[in-house]
Structure 1
C-alpha cells in the first residue's frame, strides 16, 4: 500500500511538470521538426539556362530542402564542395530512394531526373554551387549562411 501511494504521488508530480509552460518545447525531433523546416527554390539544370533566379540566404541551425531538376538536354553536374562541407546532409531522395551520405562533393545528371536534398545549415559564411567549368553568373547560385 505504501508503494502504491508513492507511485501515485510520483505520477501526479510528473504530470504537473509536463504541463508546466516554462518547460522548453523543441518539437518531436528538435532541429528536424517541421517548425524548423524551410523549402528553397529548385535548381534547374538545363543547357544554357540559369540554374537559380536568386541567391540563397540561409540561417545556421535551420533545416532546408531543395530540389535539383535536370531536363536531360545535356549531361550536367553541380559542384559545391565548400558549401557541402558547411552543412549536415540529412538525406538525398532520388526516385523514392533515400540516401544518407556522410558527405558530398557534387551531383551529376546524365539524363532527365529529379533529386531532393534535405540538410541543416551549420557553418556561417559565403558559398556557391555551380556547373563545373563555367564562369557565368547565371550558372551558379550564391549561398550565404548567417
Structure 2
C-alpha cells in the first residue's frame, strides 16, 4: 500500500517538474509575464499617410507573426479617404484603435475612413502569415495601396 502511495506521489510530481523546465525555457525567450503583449515583443511601423494623389507608404511593410505592432494612420484632409483591407484585418488581432484619445476595442474592422484631417493609431498582433493589402477603395494605382507581408 505504501509503495502505491509513493508511486502515485511520484507520478503527480512529474508534470510539475516538466512545468518548471518550461518556466526556465520561457525565461530564456525574454518575453515578460504579459506574453505577446509584453514590452519586449513590441514594434512600431512607419506611419501611413492619406493624401489626395500621394503614396500611402514609401515601401511595403514586413511583419513577423506573433509580434505586437503600433501603426499610425494620418490623413491631411485634402480629400475624404479611407483604407480598406478585409484580408489584412482578418489576419491580425486588433487590440485597440485610438482616435483623438478615444480608445476603441473592436471585434473586427473592415475599413477606416477619414472625412477630415486627423490621425488614428492602431495596435495589433500579426497572426496569419501571408501577403495582404491596405488600399484606398476604388483606386487602381500602386501608390494608393500598401502591401503588408506577415512572415
Short-chain TM bin: 0.7 to 0.9
Report the Cα offset of residue 24 of structure 1: 2.1
Normalised to the residue count of structure 1, the TM-score between the two structures is 0.84
* Residue equivalent to 1:113: 118
The size of the alignment, in residue pairs, is 127
- C-alpha separation in 2, matches of 1:41 and 1:22: 35
How much is the aligned-residue C-alpha RMSD, in angstroms?
1.4
Q: Tell me the equivalent position of 2:26.
A: 24
Superposed CA deviations along residues 39-98 of structure 1, whole A, max 9, x for unmatched, are: 000000000000000001111000001100011100000000000000000000011110
By how many angstroms is 1:29 displaced? 1.0
TM-score (norm 2): 0.81
Match of 2:70 among 56, 62, 65: 65
Provide the C-alpha distance between the structure 1 equivalents of 2:33 and 2:99, rounded to a whole number of angstroms. 26
Q: Is 1:96 the equivalent of 2:98?
A: no
After the TM superposition, which residues 1-146 of structure 1 pair with which residues of structure 2 at under 5 Å, given as runs? 22=24, 24-25=26-27, 26-146=31-151
SS in 1 for 2:40: helix
Structure with the largest fraction of helix: 2
Deviations, residues 10-50 of structure 1 (Å, cap 9, x unaligned): xxxxxxxx9xx935233131101111001000000000000
SS at 1:22 equivalent: helix
Structure 1 unpaired stretches of 5+ = 1-17
